[in-house]
Amino acid sequence: MDFELLLIILVDGLVYGSYLFMVAVGLTVICGVQKLLNVTHGALYAFGAYLTATLLILYFQVDWPQFGAFAVMLFAALFLGVLFGVIIERGLLRHLYHEDEHIIVLATFAAFLVLEDVLLLIWGTDPYLAPEPLGLLGSTEIAGLPFDNYSLSMVLLSAVVAAVLWYGLNRTQFGKLLLAVIHDRELAQAMGINVNRIFLLTFMLGSFLGALGGAYQAPAISVQPGIGVEVIVLAFAVVVIGGMGSIPGALIGSVIVGVARAFAVHQEPALELFVIYLIMAAVLIVRPQGLFAPAKPRTI
Amino acid sequence: MTWRQDKTLWGLTIGLAALLLLNFVVPDWFRSILTLSLARGSVALGLLVLWRCGLISFGHALYFGVGAYTVGLMSRYLGITDAFLTIACGVVTAGLLAYGLGFLLRQYRGIFFALLNMAFSMILYGVLAKLEELGSTDGISLETTTYLWYAPLGAENKTALFVFAVILTWGVAVLVHLYLRSTLGNMTTAVRENEIRLGYLGYSGERAVHAKFVVSGLLGGFGGAIAALTIGHVDPDSMVYWPVSGDFVFIAILSGTGNVTAPFIGALIYELIRTYAFDKFPEIWQLIMGGTLLAIIMFLPNGLWSLVDRWRGRKAAVATLRTGKEEA
């Protein structure tokens, strides 16, 4: 294999990996703090994509500065994150924290089914296209192939999100509270931390990140039914590979999955999905706690 | 408990007789709903067996899919359409796969067990959806089913399949019931409650889980094979994709773990709600399914069978009040 192909695979992999990271990071944040796997995350992604596509179509009809499109995405994601954060966490999960972890996953699966149909009721089955932002940024030629800068900017966005989250978690007061809750929920509560509030804020943050993933992806894809179902299981794979609740894990996990998939797509397209879940299974077999989960003492 | 006193065996046999009688009165579409609920109920029964040791699999569509695709591939490449042979092969293939993967899976508990199962099922999905030889996303259509030398056509074939499926499922349910009554079967609860103590008693929790897992894999393959014959078509999106696994867990939750008949009742109710919702409210059928599941989780966390238990409990309580001593 020549160097140019390798470069293309690498760039492709990074782009796809950053898309995965954007979706998986919200999932892993929720997973780390609330210790639950949140299937509704896929619906948040889909909502983010749909709302953004709709708003962008409206936005480009009026004569406002074109780069405002990015503000539209951010607004859509924030709006959805707060709205669904409150609805799902307050309305559903709050009543289930004492339940078995499987039951909570199943409850979010049920909520996901409901949201999928709400999505269809609002937007119908037709695909939505809003590719204008793609044209705004132009394209770059790498190894003889044109890559649009929009996709490349996704790598940048992921890096920014990862850095902000890292800083927020390790260098701010809220982050310290969060770490205390992650470490020991009951003790944190006993120390006077309002765990209920932390849970709600975390869920909103995670939902916002999921919606942002969808929002930023919206111009690059055809927004149609089924994108949520597809993305959530990929995000699960990334989160499991990186270690549930680990942000660096999600970063590395999405890069691994992205590059592996790019390899498959360029070399043997039939293996595209196969590789991703093979890695997931392999990680679960060799290191079930994930590649980057902190070491824990055995209880037995 | 002797055979004659076993209420479950009686219940299953009465169910068998009732279904066979129903065969004469129900319309075609309802018969296929019944057959499909037997198929899904079998998979949910497999999940029930696992759930009794506190394990849930988010990937049982794997065994369902293997069962279904074995039938489909035999029909396509070998031209074998005999129901006995194809179902047997589907069950055995799924069972062997469960046996092999069981060596890995038996070491895992909790969410890791559930997710590793999901990963395996998605590997199969990835292969099936992309390989042209295996039908890709279009799937494979089956030839008309035959039963040894009996080769009915049209409506008669559907009736034959129904009768065939009912009798087989009865046999399977009875076997599973007897298995759960045995010592190895009873270890499920012990694994769930305190696996370390089970180890000190001299039993291997892992081996108990492995046995359960193979049973559930066999049941998954059986359900898949029956479903493939009923639908006459196999495809990855409606048989192996992750929401299918979710649906099986849904049925298991809906039914509850109380009894081997529960998954079949649960599957029938699931199938009825689904068909009705799909027919009357095609826009919001998923919303109805999700709402039902949420309602069950919130208000009936031990499933429909807990209603039966509650009713029995009340009867027992009344009896205790009257006689002053506990009913045996």
At B60-72, the pLDDT tens digits run 999 999 999 999 9
Q: What percent of chain A has pLDDT over 90?
A: 38
- What is the distance between the alpha carbons of residues A232 and B256, in angstroms, rounded to a whole number? 27
Relative to beta strand B233-234, strand B140-141 is antiparallel
Domains along chain A?
3-286 (1.10.3470)
- Supply the pLDDT for residue A298: 52
A298 touches chain B (CB under 8 A): no
| 3-class SS of residue A234 | helix
Relative to beta strand A139-142, strand B233-234 is unpaired
Mutate to test the interface with A, among B57, B105, B118, B195 (most CBs of A within 10 A): B118
DSSP state at residue B134: G
- What is the distance between the alpha carbons of residues A239 and A250, in angstroms, rounded to a whole number? 6
Q: Per-residue pLDDT for A299 more than 50?
A: no
Confidence class for position B131, pLDDT limits 50, 70, 90? confident
- Supply the pLDDT for residue B221: 95
- Supply the pLDDT for residue B98: 94
- Supply the pLDDT for residue B213: 92
From chain A, pick out residues whose CB is under 8 angstroms from the CB of B251. Answer: none
DSSP state at residue A246: -
Q: What per-residue string of b and e applies to B5-25 under the rule 16 or more CB within 10 Å gives b?
A: eeebbeebeebbeebeeeeee
A207 in Cβ contact with A43 (< 8 Å)? no
pLDDT greater at residue A240 or residue B146? A240
B109 contacts: CB under 8 Å, gap ≥ 6:
B54, B55, B195
Of B122, B241, B297, the CB nearest to A106: B297
pLDDT greater at residue B175 or residue B156? B175
Q: How far does B119 lie from chain A, in Å, by closest CA? A: 5
A264 touches chain B (CB under 8 A): no
Q: Per-residue pLDDT for A300 more than 70?
A: no
Q: Per-residue pLDDT for B2 more than 70?
A: no
Of A110, A271, A280, the CB nearest to B293: A110
- Supply the pLDDT for residue A80: 95
Q: Per-residue pLDDT for B155 more than 80?
A: no
Confidence class for position B328, pLDDT limits 50, 70, 90? very low
Q: How far does B199 lie from chain A, in Å, by closest CA? A: 12
The pLDDT tens digits of the residues spanning A225-277 come to 888 888 888 898 898 888 888 888 899 999 999 999 999 888 888 888 888 88
- Cα radius of gyration rounded to whole Å, chain B: 20
- State whether B284 and A121 contact (CB < 8 Å): yes
pLDDT greater at residue B30 or residue A49? A49
- State whether A284 and B129 contact (CB < 8 Å): no
- What is the distance between the alpha carbons of residues A175 and A135, in angstroms, rounded to a whole number? 38
- What is the distance between the alpha carbons of residues B88 and B82, in angstroms, rounded to a whole number? 10
Confidence class for position A124, pLDDT limits 50, 70, 90? confident
Cβ within 8 Å of B, A 184-203:
none
- What is the distance between the alpha carbons of residues B51 and A160, in angstroms, rounded to a whole number? 43
A236 touches chain B (CB under 8 A): yes
The pLDDT tens digits of the residues spanning B195-248 come to 888 888 888 888 888 988 999 999 999 999 999 999 988 999 888 898 899 999
Q: Per-residue pLDDT for A205 more than 90?
A: yes
- Supply the pLDDT for residue B327: 42
Mutate to test the interface with A, among B117, B122, B197, B247 (most CBs of A within 10 A): B122
A205 in Cβ contact with A81 (< 8 Å)? yes
Q: What per-residue string of b and e applies to A118-129 under the rule 16 or more CB within 10 Å gives b?
A: bbbeebeeeebe
- Supply the pLDDT for residue B64: 95
Compare all CA atoms of chain A with the CA of B197 and give the residue at the minimum distance: A300
Alpha helices in B58-203 (DSSP H): 61-73, 83-105, 110-130, 154-181, 183-193, 195-200
Confidence class for position B322, pLDDT limits 50, 70, 90? low
pLDDT greater at residue A116 or residue B25? A116
Q: Where are the domains of chain B?
A: 7-242
B216's tokens = 């559930």
Tally the residues of chain B. Answer: 328
B245 in Cβ contact with B58 (< 8 Å)? yes
Burial label, A152 (beta-carbon count in 10 A; 0-12, 13-18, 19+): middle
As a whole number, the mean pLDDT across chain B is 85
A36 in Cβ contact with A98 (< 8 Å)? no
- Supply the pLDDT for residue A165: 92
From chain A, pick out residues whose CB is under 8 angstroms from the CB of B293. Answer: 106-107, 109-110, 113
A237 contacts: CB under 8 Å, gap ≥ 6:
A253, A257, A276, A277, A279, A280, B119, B122
B322 contacts: CB under 8 Å, gap ≥ 6:
none
Tally the residues of chain A. Answer: 300
Tell me the mean pLDDT in the region A80-103: 90
Confidence class for position B321, pLDDT limits 50, 70, 90? low
- Supply the pLDDT for residue B324: 53
Mutate to test the interface with B, among A39, A92, A117, A241 (most CBs of B within 10 A): A117
The phi and psi torsions of B140 (rounded to 5 degrees) equal -130, 135
Of B126, B249, B286, the CB nearest to A106: B249
Other C-beta atoms closer than 10 Å to the C-beta of A170 total 12
Q: How far does B128 lie from chain A, in Å, by closest CA? A: 9
A1's tokens = 């294999």
Q: Per-residue pLDDT for A297 more than 90?
A: no
- Cα radius of gyration rounded to whole Å, chain A: 19
- Supply the pLDDT for residue A1: 61
Q: How far does A63 lie from chain B, in Å, by closest CA? A: 36
- What is the distance between the alpha carbons of residues A41 and A24, in angstroms, rounded to a whole number? 9
- What is the distance between the alpha carbons of residues B220 and B41, in angstroms, rounded to a whole number? 9
Q: Per-residue pLDDT for B113 more than 50?
A: yes
Q: Cα A145 to chain center, whole Å?
A: 28
Nearest Cα residue to B291 out of A92, A86, A142: A92
From chain B, pick out residues whose CB is under 8 angstroms from the CB of A286. Answer: none
First vs last Cα of chain B: how many Å apart? Answer: 12
Of A110, A270, A284, the CB nearest to B294: A110
Residue type, B81: T
B162's tokens = 């129904």
Nearest Cα residue to A108 out of A123, A96, A120: A96
- Supply the pLDDT for residue A112: 93
B321 contacts: CB under 8 Å, gap ≥ 6:
none
Tell me the mean pLDDT in the region B71-84: 87
From chain A, pick out residues whose CB is under 8 angstroms from the CB of B108. Answer: 284, 288
- What is the distance between the alpha carbons of residues B71 and B89, in angstroms, rounded to a whole number? 8
As a whole number, the mean pLDDT across chain A is 88
Q: Model pTM?
A: 0.88
Tell me the mean pLDDT in the region A172-193: 89
The pLDDT tens digits of the residues spanning B267-296 come to 999 999 988 888 888 888 889 989 999 998
Residue type, B45: L
